[in-house]
Amino acid sequence: MYKYDSYDQEMVDARVEEFRDQARRRLEGSLSEDEFKPLRLMNGLYLQLHAYMLRVAIPYGTLNSEQMTALGDIADKYDRGYGHFTTRQNLQYNWIKLEDTADILADLAKVEMHAIQTSGNCIRNISSDHFAGAAHDELVDPRPYAELMRQWSSFHPEFTYLPRKFKICVIASEKDRAAMRLHDIGVQIVKNEAGELGARFYAGGGMGRTPMIAPMIRDFVPLDQLITYAEACLRVYNRYGRRDNKYKARIKILVHELGRDEYVRQVEEEFAHMLEQGVEPPREELERIKPFFADPAFEDGPKTLDRSDPDFALWVDRNTNRHKHDSYVSAVISLKPVGGIPGDATGDQMRLMARLAKQYSFDELRIMHTQNVVLPHVKISDLHALWTELEAAGLGSPNMDSIEDMIACPGLDYCALANARSIPLAQRISERFNASGKTEKLGELKLKISGCINACGHHHAGHIGILGVDKKGLENYQLSLGGSEAEDTSLAKITGPGFTEDGVIEAVDKVTDVYLAEREGEERFLDTYRRIGMAPFKEALYG
């Protein structure tokens, strides 16, 4: 994986010292909270319901054992012994003291990490496929391109005060494991007819209160113009994105209001101009970055395993993904234990995952947008030993992509924006479906829960989505069906009137009953919904 050189390190170190000075001025009172707020936000520090929350960037979701260990140590030293992995492949600490923050950033900088641009109206941490460099179905590893864009977007002088936050995702396979088209810009590395690699651009996707699927805006951008084209996209947005209303300020509204074709026309005009400005980094830079992501030294080994232990076999079936080398798999460590808080891990668990990565996965880990952790390169012959250790640490839940593997935002238990709690709902649903054995019958079913309209829990993209709202001072939950964040991207539709907390759990049960009664062949919940439509589900819920 990528390793900082002295220039990268110097950028991060400079930022730590700058923030230390800002925090000092705030603590001494020479900076007011109003003045301090934009500064702390540029460093990922939010003021939440009960305490400061610090969001740490994990570029394209890739980290090594040393970094994961440091994250665990920070959780123990400065927080309450745990952290929360997010849908942007980042990590959040929920109980941070302002006076510790500069020290935390310094601890992070020691392991080439930071919290830069994890909030604020700037280009955020770039996300990618969590199986990048391992998946059997990818064209190339997307991470060198993501790293090139990471450097370009860090401290960008023109794009630090955009109309709103800006999220970029880079993938390189037809299978979309990163919700690419629900980003402000989605990039897919593709091959053209001449066999050359290039970048296909999508723009104007997003969730939030106005969910939109990004249209494609350019089929093929040559790789030596990648940054220039992105710069053109951003400049048009910075100049013309709406600033009169924070809820209409994302690029999706601009693309929607201008129309895709007019946005494309303006970008192309700016692109032609930018090409003359020479903003593209030297081509050699991409070539410099690529070897950092070269394959580790894979060895041939057994390709089958002993499935006599049914618990182990189930975990293998559920939680491993086919690897490009046939003696390996990518193993998913579920952070969704039954009744647990989705995405949370303790300091001990982080250190354990770090050690297992070192032992079994060439020192590498990935964070999934579904709030789990991946060991990307595990020998098939090591799987049983790995699973045994995970089981002992409560990390062996065999539930990837099942209803128990739900995404949930922190909700009203932590978040200052939330209208309703997400976590208790997630806990009760996983307990109920696990206890009844229904999880297994339902197969792939992506449930996503957001505690407010900002949609951090991706409810629009859930096969089943739940949105918490405030109804006359009471928590109320809207149910929606039919969303997908994968290559068959779709937005979920609301079933009808909302439910109480108990009611929405019953409602989830009912819609899954409809599916089990109606499904044909190997259909997933989503497939059945798409075939039969909303009516039978509505009938079961409200009929």
Whole-number Å distance between alpha carbons of 174 and 189 = 9
Binding to other proteins (CB under 8 A): which residues in 447-506? none
Q: Which is nearer to other proteins, 141 or 270 (CB)?
A: 270
Given the complex with other proteins, which of 41 and 406 has the nearer CB atom? 41
The C-alpha atoms of residue 67 and residue 126 are separated, in whole angstroms, by 18
Q: Is residue 320 at the binding interface for other proteins, with CB under 8 A as the rule?
A: no
| DSSP conformational letter for 453 | T
Closer of 39 and 466 to other proteins (Cβ): 39
231-244 as b/e: b if 16+ CB within 10 A? bbbbbbbbeebbee
If binding is defined by CB under 8 A, does position 154 make contact with other proteins?
A: yes
Residue 334 CB neighbour total at 10 angstroms: 27
> Could you tell me the two tokens for 87?
């849908």
Q: Where are the alpha helices (DSSP H) in 59-215?
A: 65-78, 98-110, 143-153
The one segment of 157-165, 205-213, 294-302, 316-324 that binds other proteins by CB under 8 A: 157-165
Listed as own residue / partner, the contacts of 190-194 with beta carbons closer than 8 Å and 24 or more positions apart are: 190/139, 190/220, 191/139, 192/220
- Closest to 314 measured CA to CA, from 131, 440, 441, 444: 440
Stretch that binds other proteins, among 167-175, 237-245, 450-458, 461-469 (CB under 8 A): 237-245
Q: How far is the CB of 238 from other proteins (least distance, A)?
A: 5
Closer residue to other proteins, CB minimum distance, 38 or 259: 38
Span near other proteins by CB under 8 A; candidates 92-100, 107-115, 152-160, 176-184: 152-160
With contacts defined by CB under 8 A, how many residues of the chain interact with other proteins? 38
List, as one string, the DSSP characters of 183-232.
SSEEEEEEE-TTS-EEEEEEES-B-TTS-BPPPEEEEEEEGGGHHHHHHH
Query: With binding defined as CB under 8 A, does residue 247 bind other proteins?
Result: no
Shortest Cβ 202–other proteins spacing (Å) = 23
Cβ-contact 485, 514 below 8 angstroms: no
Output the CA torsion sign for 212, 217, 220, 224: negative
Site string for other proteins, 159-198 (x = CB under 8 A): xxxx------------------------------------
- Please choose, out of 231-239, 348-356, 471-479, 492-500, the segment that lies near other proteins by the rule CB under 8 A: 231-239
Q: Which of 39, 179, 335, 455 binds other proteins (CB under 8 A)?
A: 39
Stretch that binds other proteins, among 5-13, 47-55, 349-357, 363-371 (CB under 8 A): 5-13
Shortest distance, position 304 Cβ to other proteins, whole Å: 46
Sites for other proteins among residues 277-306 (CB under 8 A): 277-282, 284-285, 288
**Three-class secondary structure of residue 392 per DSSP:** helix
Pairing of strands 407-408, 447-450: parallel
Mask of contacts with other proteins, 260-279, x by CB under 8 A? -------------x---xxx
- Here the tokens at position 328 are 């390996």
> Which residues of this chain interact with other proteins, rule CB under 8 A?
5, 7-8, 10-11, 14, 18, 21, 35, 38-39, 42, 121, 151-152, 154-162, 235, 238-239, 243, 273, 277-282, 284-285, 288
